[in-house]
Chains A and B, each alone.
Chain A
Amino acid sequence: MTDDTSSADPWAWARQDDADGAAVRVSPATVTVVIVAHQGERWLKSAIDSVTAQNARPTRLVVVDAGSDDKTAQVASDARTFGRVQAVVQGVRDASFGANVAQGLQGLPADEWLWLLHDDVVADASALDRLLDTAVHGPADVVGPLLLEAGRRRGRAVRVSEAGQTMTESGVITGVVPEGMVDQGQLESTQVLGLNSCGMLVRRSVWDELGGFDDAVPSGVQGLEFCWRARLAGYRVVTQPRARVVHVEASTRGIRDNIAVDPHQDKRRWGLALHEAFRSGPMSSGERGRLGAESLRRVLGFVVGKDLLDARLERAAVREWRADRASVDRLHQSYLSATQGSDRSDEPVGALRLTRKALRTRRLDETFGRITDWLSAFGDRGGGLGLEALTGDDFARDDQTKRRISPVWVLAWVFIVGALVASRGLLSFAPLSGPQLLEVPDSIGALFARYAAGVSGADPSAGAPWVGLVWAASLLTLGHPDLIVSLVLLGAVPVCFLFASRVLGRLADDRWVVLGGAACYALVPVLTGAVASGQLGAVAWAIALPLLAGRLVTWWQDGEPSWPVVGGVGLAATVMTAAEPLTWVAVVAAVGVLAWRLRHGWIRPAVAAVSPLLLLVTPFTAELARFPGRLLTGTEPLLVPTNAMSRIELLLGRAAPEAAPVWVAAATLGVIWLLALTGAVLNRRAAWAVAVALGSAAVAVVLTRIVVTVQPTGIPTHPQATAWTVGMAGALIWAAVLGLDGLRESIAESTFDRRHALVYAVALLACGAVAIGSGWWVALGHAELERRGGSSVPTFIRKDAARDSCRIVTLDLRGDHVSWNLLEGDFGRLGDAERGLAFGGSQDGTATAQSVVHRLAQGSADERIVSDLQSLGVCYLWVTGASPDQRVSISNVPGLGVGAADADGASWIVPDSGRLVLVSGEQTTRVDPGSSVPAGGAGRVLLVAEPTSPALAVRIGEALATRLPDVAGRAAFAVPDAGGAVTLNREGGVPWWAGVQAALLIALLALAAPASPSASDARARTPRHVRRGV
């Protein structure tokens, strides 16, 4: 039922004047108001005042003191003395709200209406009048007001606490409208399943007929239980949102002392009991199981939301519900009594319950709301030191009449457009690749195999942990690894800008300094060459750095970190450690310093510090033990150019040959150096950041000077230290922002002097640096990346390789150096370089391949080349850039067959070669893995061109084949007469350690995820329940 005005004009609520004291029609009805007070000295007087100030004066006001040991009784007595309360009744301390109401009504004349109130309310003056109006003209038998949250500032938006109650299909009692909704007068009167006992206006006859509230039901559930019975008995239960009552919810929010059991637990337990009891038949076992599963989901949800208290309460509530069968039976009797004589079915009641679809919609709205809030926070000061933050008003912007476009988002969109322009040649679906980026596998399964599968010949071994993180991240792009890699690389600038602006906004007040710093940092991954060279790890590191810094700043400012902060530090550190293992040392140092300075215990710092160690739960750790030099490198160390960048170039941020030209680097990173040093002069605290920058630079210089050997066979390379160069630049920007913050404000009120010149010079330099850096980025920043449609190797060769039938040696004879590669499967893909590429697990195999290539390039054409190629399972030789003489020379290799040639290159065929070759007498046949060997005579041998390790096994048919002595570098297996399908006995599926790693990562993600809104409520309740031992 709605009021007439609203019915005539659907927008009436927006224009309606809700001012207190507006003229309303006073009902002639007689109303008894009962306030039940318990430990309510803080609120009772206000409650009494608001009742006595009602436009519709109640007939009488009765206060029931439920055994309070504070000054509640005195407040009530005083009101009685002054005639504002007609009766003060001594209630029962441990009795429910309903029992105390009944106590208060004893001996009083039965007025037509009964208005029930808690002691922690303040009702609008028109509340009772509107309730009565609805009750009389609705008509309705039970009417509830709009309960509003307390504690909001005057003149600001108010939020809805409750506007009627309902129950989900899982027995969860919840509000009809989401809690926390801003009250803009948009709600209308509607029928509901239940009402809060607080503010409920009930027809006295109905009250008496139904026997009032069920005393055995906890106070927080009594309203719903009563209304449900009322509906079953055929009465109308409605809300009237225009009747507003502010409800402190002292018991629910943990403000009130001496509460034995958390109301949330009661509500949950008795919700389940009502769900089971208020039905005509017994609950099925399937329904019971569904409720159990739903409860488990809720527990997990609470745990993920860091709301451990509510998780415990959920478990306790379900346990009690299952144990207390008597209460359920008794409620069921109530149900039967309520429905006795009534021809109404459960159907109307069922329609008032919250359906799963409605529940999903509500959760979806909440999720999107939180995401929107998170995104909008980028445009704000991000917890800075502005006036809004100092006043702590959440709704400051609600009253802004002049809304401004956030410069952060303006610049972010500029960078997004810039990224699209810079990527103009890369907007296709072909795989992205670059000088240090192998093409991404075309499926998430192929990527997982590169992470989980052991490297043949190197036991124990596995792919690098960062490959697993890429795999996990690709779930965000619905299983398209190339898409997530493309987004990270091509979108690095705008993402870095947003993240950097957020963290810098917490360090400085001057919005323009923050914007300039964030813009400079956004360009760092590009200027260093991390993006152009395709260093996925370094770019991810650059993106994670401001996230880590932001969490550490929060940690420092909060004093004691929340679990999401701890998880955030751990998660960012994990990503950065996966990309650059040496980062872990820096993270441990930073967390250690925080823990030491703040002295809030060691558990949370320890969790943050050890989180990256989840990366070690993999056989890859064994390889690290053999080749610890990998701890000093970034991702895919084999792709690092042989020549290290010079020291000066590193100081200018040029970490890769694909970095910005020296003049661009000097105009950007050089300026950043200058601004950082200026900042350090102006603000001594900025010197810390300069020290960090110098330290990072020192690490970068040292790392790039040394040579380490990396897995799986000890290949020498040198660390590239791109991440440390990014770190250096980030620290310099940090110093500049710290030092230059406030400089602009300092000249605002003064005449022109040297400070003005300094400010203008700084602004000019910064703008110039950003402009030059951005210009180069947009013009050439992504020029080294490419999307290739396919390999230059002929299709027929690729197909054989794709079937795992063959390997291929490729040579490029152009120039002074001969480049070569050994290919297998779908050729070199992301993560393969960490696995040593094809035959990577065999040092001998790699050396043989190198030797063969050397001899081919030399034109020695010796007779062992073919047998060496056969031992590697190479079927084809693909050569590009060869001169006619070189082609002749290769053709002269004894036994090598001349294959097809085209303008790109020429191929040669290695006879009797393949990864699996069946030898039967003089006849040799290549066998595809998985294909069948036909039945045949005895003496047949299967030669397997794989790294020969004891673990190598072949299954032919159902049985493991018997291993014979190796033949010419190839493992040999006896082929049974019956033949059968040939499969290499590799480990498949998901290894246990990957599951453990995934579980730890999920736990870390859960820890890092924002806490659920209920967690803050639970945290507020925690002290009391800790005291109570709940």
Chain B
Amino acid sequence: MTDSRSTTMRRAAAARPAKGPLVAVAVAAVALAAATAFVPAIRPTAPVADASAVRVTRACPTLDAGVQLGLTALGDGLAQAPLATPTTLTPLTSPQVIALAKDPGRISAPVGSPFWGVVSASAATDADQGLSLAACRSPRAQQWFAGVRSNANARSEVVLVNLDTTEASVNINVYGPDGALAAPGARGVEVAARSQRILPMGPLVDAATPVTLEVATSTGRVAAFVRQRLFNGTAPLGADWISATAEPDELAVIGSVPAGDGARTLVIGNPGDRTAQVKVEVLGPDGAYAPVGIETVDVPADTTRTFPLDKVLGGKSAALRLTGSRPIVAAVEAATVGDWATLTAHAGVGAKAVVNVPLPGGIAPVVTVANPGAEAAHVEVKITDPSGKVLLEKSQDVLASAALTFEPGPTAGLLLSVVSSSPSLRVSLAATGAVGTVTGIAMVGVADASSPVPAVVVTRDPRLGG
């Protein structure tokens, strides 16, 4: 009965034209069209991790006589802690200069608060005579040092700072002028947790020319520095830190070769297994040019080669751009009467950097801004003295493949602020001046400190591990 009823209803309904269904279809179609056209897709965002919980820590080298540590940070939270007790944080202000005693410094700041530390030391006599500068750095599993000398007239020691609570085991590979050098005793060097170990290179390496060191950990990580002292027999020729160079890459940029007399030597290391053909370019104020005689050099596999720059630069300041067919590391060694310094290839300055460089009085700093890129960039440089007096303030473009120098004049310390339109600009500082009876020289690169850790996106996957 019900079926016949429904059949009748169905037939009857189908027979007569009805507007209701068409209206319903029209309304639904409009709704669908509106939903399709006007409702934007919103993607759920993953919860953002609390960045303040993450602190970036760096180690700063020191000497037995102590050093001055200049500190700056772009945000809050800069703090210092003893090497052995990392949780005992002492808040610091920015900028600030503190004295480091025999223990290396441990400075930290939250992620998102870029900070820099530069240690400075000077001595008029003895083995550490001259001016020394070094940038504090984060511990890593692998670090490279180019331009390290170790022979009868060069005493080098590798300073290994372990900030972590676990022991680190370090292996050092040496790349000499004719290939990799055997360095017995340079493998499995144990560095206790929260401690520093100084490893003299003399017993391990004897090379007439500069070598390249690879400091790698098999377990743990360390912040490594090389303290090098040169002699002429027993007469000291100066001392300085050699900072770790950038990771081996086809492009290496040395931000500054200081002007002046004295030897200027380019050191190129090739840790690869094939010969690297390296194109050398000098970045001057007006652009790049190829240095005569060393336009392109070959660096065999596993070797470190040196190339004199004295004649090609003629005492002028410049920057170097090295383009290798294989990944290379590089540094420039500069000497004065009674001192020397090495500036290794380093990374770009980022968008903004502020470094506090403590210097003894009368030292003349020179800031070099090199643009290795193919596009011109704009840079704002501001240099103030410790009292806050503005010594130099410039805002100008840097041509592609060019380098500019800024000379604020002698000062007892400086606060260098650089704002760059291109993060690949290399900014370095060379300081020269009388330190006692010798002409001290020191160089330090200013690297980007805003992203010391990789940016990663983490997503919770409820199925993972289940």
**In contact, B461 and A684 (Cβ under 8 angstroms):** no
Given contacts A855-B49, A861-B164, contact A821 B25 (CB under 8 A): no
Alpha-carbon distance A812/B3, docked complex (angstroms): 61
The minimal Cβ–Cβ distance linking A595 to chain B, given in whole angstroms, is: 18
Q: Which of A815-863 contact B (CB under 8 A)?
A: 816-823, 827-829, 832-833, 837, 846-848, 850-851, 853-855, 857-863
The CA-CA distance from A973 to B267 in the complex, in Å, is 63
* Cβ of B55 to closest chain A Cβ, rounded Å: 5
Is A687 within 8 A of B22, CB to CB? yes
Does B232 have its Cβ within 8 Å of any Cβ on chain A?
A: no
> Which of chain B's residues have a CB closer than 8 A to the CB of A237?
none
Given contacts A557-B2, A705-B39, A828-B466, contact A816 B457 (CB under 8 A): yes
A687 B165 Cβ-Cβ under 8 A = no
Q: How far is the CB of A502 from chain B (nearest CB, A)?
A: 14
Find out whether the CB atom of B111 lies under 8 angstroms from the CB atom of A860: yes
B residues within 8 A CB of A639? 462-463
Please, which residues of chain B bring their CB within 8 A of the CB of A926? none
Q: With A695-B31, A810-B464, A855-B49 in contact, do A862 and B54 touch (Cβ < 8 Å)?
A: yes
Q: Does A295 contact B (CB under 8 A)?
A: no
Interface contact A638-B18, CB-CB below 8 Å: no
Of the listed stretches A64-72, A173-181, A382-390, chain B binds: A382-390
Alpha-carbon distance between A688 and B24 when the two chains are bound, in angstroms: 7
Are A847 and B17 touching (Cβ within 8 A)? no
- Also in contact, A688 and B21, with CB within 8 A (given A705-B41, A892-B166): yes
Identify which of residues 374-398 in chain A touch chain B, using a CB-to-CB cut-off of 8 Å.
383-385, 389-390, 392
Cβ-based interface call for A774 (8 A):
no
**Bound-complex Cα distance A975 to B139 (A):** 42
For A879-911 the 0/1 string (1 means CB < 8 A from B) is: 000000100110111111010000000000000
Residues of chain B lying within 8 A (CB to CB) of residue A808: 465
Question: Chain B's nearest CB lies how many Å from the CB of A1001?
Answer: 28
Residues of A352-390 whose CB lies within 8 A of B: 383-385, 389-390
Taking a contact as CB atoms under 8 Å apart, the answer to whether A557 and B462 are in contact is no
Q: Is B454 an interface residue (CB 8 A)?
A: yes
A251 at the A/B interface (Cβ < 8 Å)?
A: no
* A106 shortest CB reach to chain B, Å: 49
Which of B17, B45, B86, B164 counts the most chain A CB atoms within 10 A? B164
Q: Please, how many angstroms separate the alpha-carbon atoms of A810 and B459 in the complex?
A: 12
By a CB distance below 8 angstroms, the chain A residues around B42 are 705-707, 718
Contact bitstring B46-64, A, C-beta under 8 A = 1, else 0: 1101100111110000000
Report the minimum CB–CB distance from A31 to chain B (whole Å).
44
* Residue B199 at the chain A interface, CB threshold 8 Å: no
Verify if A424 is at the interface (C-beta below 8 Å from B).
no
Using Cβ atoms and an 8 Å threshold, which residues of chain B touch A590?
none
How far is B34's CA from A698's CA once the two chains are assembled, in angstroms? 8
Kindly list chain B residues whose C-beta atoms are within 8 Å of the C-beta of A438: 462-463, 466
A837 touches B462 (CB 8 A): yes
Quick one: which of B25, B27, B86 contacts A680, CB cutoff 8 A? B25
B220 within 8 A of A: yes
- Which parts of B433-466 form the interface with A (CB within 8 Å)? 453-466
Residues of A within 8 A of B43 (CB): 642-644, 707, 718
Q: Which residues of B119-148 are within 8 A (CB) of A? A: 139, 141-142
Take A642-B44, A698-B31, A716-B44 as given contacts and tell me if A821 and B464 are in contact as well, using a CB distance cutoff of 8 Å: yes
Q: Does B152 contact A (CB under 8 A)?
A: no
In the bound complex, residues from chain A placing their C-beta under 8 Å from that of B40 are: 705
Determine whether B14 belongs to the interface, using a CB cutoff of 8 Å to chain A: yes
The answer to whether B173 has its CB under 8 Å from any CB of chain A is no
- In the bound assembly, the distance between CA atoms of A893 and B47 in angstroms comes to 23
Contact of B86 among A818, A855, A893, A894 (CB under 8 A): A894
Please tell me if the beta carbons of A698 and B24 are within 8 angstroms of each other in the complex. Answer: no
Give the residues in chain A near B465, CB-CB below 8 Å. Answer: 791-793, 808, 810, 821, 823, 827-828, 878
User: Is A30 among interface residues, defined by CB-CB distance under 8 A?
Assistant: no
| 0/1 string, A785-821, CB within 8 A of B gives 1 | 0000001110000000000000010101000111111
Cβ of B32 under 8 Å from chain A? yes
Whether B454 and A859, one on each chain, are in contact in the complex, defined by CB atoms closer than 8 angstroms, is yes
> Does chain B have a CB within 8 A of A501?
no
B466 adjacent to A823 (CB under 8 Å): yes
Contacts of B31 in A (CB 8 A): 694-695, 698
- Interface-located stretch among B4-12, B309-317, B415-423: B4-12
Q: Is B395 an interface residue (CB 8 A)?
A: no
Is B90 in contact with chain A by the CB < 8 A criterion?
Answer: no
B1 at the interface (CB under 8 A from A): yes
A858 in contact with B27 (CB, 8 Å): no
8 Å CB contact of A851 from B36, B50, B165: B50
Q: Does B98 belong to the interface (CB within 8 Å)?
A: no
B35 lies within 8 A of chain A by Cβ:
yes
* Interface: A685 (CB within 8 A): yes
User: How many residues does chain B have at the interface if contact means C-beta atoms less than 8 Å apart?
Assistant: 69
Kindly list chain B residues whose C-beta atoms are within 8 Å of the C-beta of A861: 164, 221
CB of A691 within 8 A of CB of B27, answer yes
Contact with A along B158-170 (1 / 0, CB 8 A): 0000001110100
Indicate if the CB atoms of B462 and A828 lie closer than 8 Å.
yes
Complex: A818 Cα to B139 Cα, angstroms: 23
**A557 with B6: CB separation less than 8 A:** yes
Contact B55 A828 (CB under 8 A): no
Asked whether B25 lies within 8 Å of A687 as measured between CB atoms, the reply is: yes
A1000 to B220, CA, bound (A): 61
* Contact between chains at B453 and A684 (CB < 8 Å): no
Number of contacts between A and B (CB, 8 Å)? 239
Contacts A687-B25, A688-B21; is A855 near B53 (CB within 8 Å)? yes
A684 B53 Cβ-Cβ under 8 A: no
Residue of A nearest to B53 (CB): A851
Which of A433, A705, A823, A889 meets B221, CB within 8 Å? A889
Q: How far is the CA of A833 from the CA of B461 in the complex (A)?
A: 10
Cα–Cα, bound, A683→B15 (Å): 9
Closest A residue to B141 by beta carbon equals: A888
> Whose C-beta in chain A lies nearest to the C-beta of B465?
A810
Nearest CB in chain B: distance from A698 CB, A: 4
Would A891 and B22 count as touching, CB distance under 8 A?
no
* Residues on B with beta carbons closer than 8 Å to the beta carbon of A846: 47
A863 touches B86 (CB 8 A): yes
Contact A851-B49, Cβ < 8 Å, known A707-B43, A718-B44, A892-B164:
yes
- Report whether B44 and A701 are in contact in the complex, using a CB–CB cutoff of 8 Å: no
| Nearest-neighbor residue (CB-CB) of B456 within chain A | A857
Per the bound structure, the CA–CA distance linking A331 and B227 in Å amounts to: 121
Please state if B55 and A862 are interface contacts (CB–CB under 8 Å): yes
A156 at the interface (CB under 8 A from B): no
- Is the Cβ of A821 less than 8 Å from the Cβ of B460? yes
> Shortest beta-carbon distance, A32 to chain B, in Å?
45
Task: From the candidates A717, A827, A858, name the one contacting B456 in the complex (CB within 8 A).
Answer: A858
Q: Is the pair B14, A888 in contact by a Cβ cutoff of 8 Å?
A: no
- Per the 8 Å Cβ criterion, residues 412-450 of A in contact with B are 433, 435, 438-439
Shortest CB distance A241–B (Å)? 34
The reply to whether A433 and B28 form a contact with Cβ atoms under 8 Å apart is no
CB pair B35 A684 closer than 8 Å: no
Can you list 24 A-B contacts with CB-CB less than 8 angstroms, sorted by A residue number?
A384-B3, A385-B6, A644-B41, A687-B21, A687-B24, A694-B31, A694-B32, A701-B35, A701-B36, A705-B42, A716-B44, A716-B45, A792-B465, A828-B466, A853-B49, A854-B49, A855-B49, A858-B454, A858-B455, A861-B164, A888-B217, A889-B141, A889-B221, A894-B164
- With A707-B43, A895-B165 given, name 14 new contacts (CB 8 A): A435-B463, A680-B21, A686-B21, A687-B24, A817-B456, A847-B47, A850-B46, A850-B458, A858-B456, A860-B453, A888-B217, A892-B168, A893-B164, A896-B166
Residues of A at under 8 Å CB distance from B? 383-385, 389-390, 392, 433, 435, 438-439, 556-559, 638-639, 642-644, 647, 680, 683-688, 690-695, 697-698, 701-702, 704-707, 715-718, 791-793, 808, 810, 812, 816-823, 827-829, 832-833, 837, 846-848, 850-851, 853-855, 857-864, 868, 878, 885, 888-889, 891-896, 898
- Across chains A and B, which 6 residue pairs bring their CB atoms closest together, nearest first? A687-B21, A694-B28, A810-B465, A691-B24, A894-B165, A854-B49
